[in-house]
Amino acid sequence: MSERVIPLVDQRHPSLPLPHAAGAALSTTPTDALRRPLTDLRISVTDRCNFRCSYCMPKEVFDKDYAYLPQSHLLSFEEITRLATVFVGRGVRKIRLTGGEPLLRKNIEILISQLAALRTPDGQPLDLTLTTNGSLLARKAQSLKDAGLQRVTVSLDGLDDAVFRQMNDVDFPVEEVLQGIAAAKAAGLGPIKVNMVVKRGTNDHEILPMARHFQGTGVVLRFIEYMDVGATNGWCMDEVLPSAEVVQRIQAEMPLVQLGHSALGETAERWGYANAQGDYDPQLGEVGVISSVTQAFCGDCNRARLSTEGRLYLCLFASQGYDLRQLLRDQISTDEAMAATIDAIWQGRADQYSVLRSLRGPDTAGGPGRRVEMSYIGG
Ligand code: SAM
Ligand code: SF4
Ligand code: SF4
């Protein structure tokens, strides 16, 4: 067997030059070069994590010598909230906090309460959510809810304790994540979604136990195809289990009917559990599959990502981002000037990595150089 070579990685590529945006922001919200609006902002609040999932932060790379961002490079809560306010003015309606592990960021509740207070131009609150590995959720669910968080997505790659410990690679017990999910439910952080990354040969035998466990609980389980994000996980297509096969395996035991998309830009294909008559039974609930590899869904991708140090990335597979922290810290940028810059950046966006991958195969990256890691840019 050939040895897996994992390259050392430095995320801190030079940032892209900010577009010159001399005028005012647009009078309408911007659309990109493929006519996609900007409605969804993912904010990474830390590049650190207490797990070492091999598909995201493999131990061999993210070891004790790994150079995480120094504290002074992180956006402060005030900086994040200021930028978020500007983004909401440009059309953003949904904010997802992520990382790294977002619950490791000290006093995250303060940031949540600041973001929960934001309103859209027509006075509506934002859809405010967070993705977590669940390890600290049992302890934090109530304070997150009290701060104004609406719901959570929990990542969970198997129910079998040995498999789960192998997936997180830090020997973390599955029971504590299940307690976190229960605490989130009790606190009213629903509807809760659970994301399972499926790696063929590693945890695909957990698909059915996970489906059985969450059926009828109100929790929406979603299966994510293992993606070629970043540059360190040693991805290969052999380890991808296509979503179509996930659906087939569940169908064989629990009949499913396909449901429509719930929102524009929704990444999951939804399948509802059927009753004896073959109709969708809302009591039994639904599962989702996210076919990031086998079925490109760039066509309505409305997501931007803000890294922990304030760089704006236009695609999960991008290698470079725009340094918005520079604007925040230069003292002279007004919110209006930032809005105009964001408009200009978004209008220049033509990213569609997944579409290109399905046409030409993997590694047709969305820009020159090594892709940034998911733990840095936010999932
Ligand atoms: N630490 C949090 C967590 O795990 O939920 C938030 C950050 S994590 C980067 C966000 C999501 O990305 C998780 O659901 C994780 O499973 C997913 N993810 C990370 N690497 C992935 C990969 N190579 N393929 C598919 N999903 C991946
Ligand atoms: Fe950490 Fe989430 Fe990445 Fe796993 S997927 S290593 S929990 S950031
Ligand atoms: Fe969006 Fe990039 Fe993913 Fe396509 S590959 S859906 S453009 S993040």
Give the domains, in start order, of the chain with CATH numbers.
40-377 (3.20.20.70)
pLDDT band at 7 (very low <50, low <70, confident <90, very high): very low
Which of ligand 3's atoms lies nearest the C-alpha of 357? 5
Q: State yes or no: pLDDT of 374 exceeds 90.
A: no
Residue with CA at minimum distance from ligand 1 atom 22:
227
Helical H segments across 55-199, by residue range: 77-89, 108-116, 137-147, 161-168, 174-187
Ligand 1 center–CA 330 separation, angstroms? 33
Ligand 1: residue whose CA is nearest its atom 19: 56
Which residue has 């597979």 as its token pair?
Answer: 317
DSSP bridge partners of 194 = 154, 221
- Per-residue confidence (pLDDT) for residue 65, from 0 to 100: 93
**Positive or negative: CA dihedral 13, 31, 350, 291:** positive
Q: Which of 9, 62, 224 to mutate to test the pocket of ligand 1 (most atoms within 8 A of CB)?
A: 224
E strands of the chain, at which residues? Answer: 40-44, 94-98, 127-132, 151-155, 193-198, 220-225, 256-259, 269-273, 286-290, 303-306, 311-313, 322-323
Predicted local distance difference test score (pLDDT) of residue 357:
82
Q: What is the mean pLDDT of residues 57-73?
A: 94
Question: Which ligand places an atom closest to the C-alpha of 172?
Answer: 2
- Please name which ligand lies nearest the alpha carbon of 45: 1
In this structure, the residue with its CA closest to atom 5 of ligand 2 is 56
Q: Measured between alpha carbons, how far is 359 from 235 in angstroms, rounded to an integer?
A: 18
How far apart are the CA of 283 and the centre of ligand 1, in A? 28
- 259 dihedral zone (left: phi>0; alpha: psi -120 to 50; beta): beta
Given a cut of 70, whether residue 6 has pLDDT beyond it is no
From atom 3 of ligand 2, which residue's Cα is the shortest distance away? 56
CB distance 25 to ligand 1 below 6 Å = no
Average pLDDT, the chain: 92
Query: What average pLDDT does the segment 361-366 reach?
Result: 55
- State if residue 354 touches ligand 3 by the CB under 6 angstroms criterion: yes
What is the reported pLDDT for 14? Answer: 82
Average pLDDT, stretch 236-254?
Answer: 96
Per-residue pLDDT band at 8 (split at 50, 70, 90): very low
For ligand 3, say whether the CB of 133 is within 6 Å of any of its atoms.
no
Residue 11 has pLDDT above 70, yes or no: no
Contact 200, 245 (CB under 8 A): no
Determine how many CB atoms are found less than 10 A away from the CB of residue 234: 16
**Which ranges of the chain would DSSP assign to H, the alpha helix?**
77-89, 108-116, 137-147, 161-168, 174-187, 207-214, 243-251, 324-329, 335-347, 353-360, 374-377
Which residue, judged by its Cα, is nearest atom 10 of ligand 1?
379
Would the pLDDT of 323 be above 50? yes
Q: Ligand 3 within 6 A of 377 CB?
A: no
Question: What atom in ligand 3 is closest to the CA of residue 366?
Answer: 2
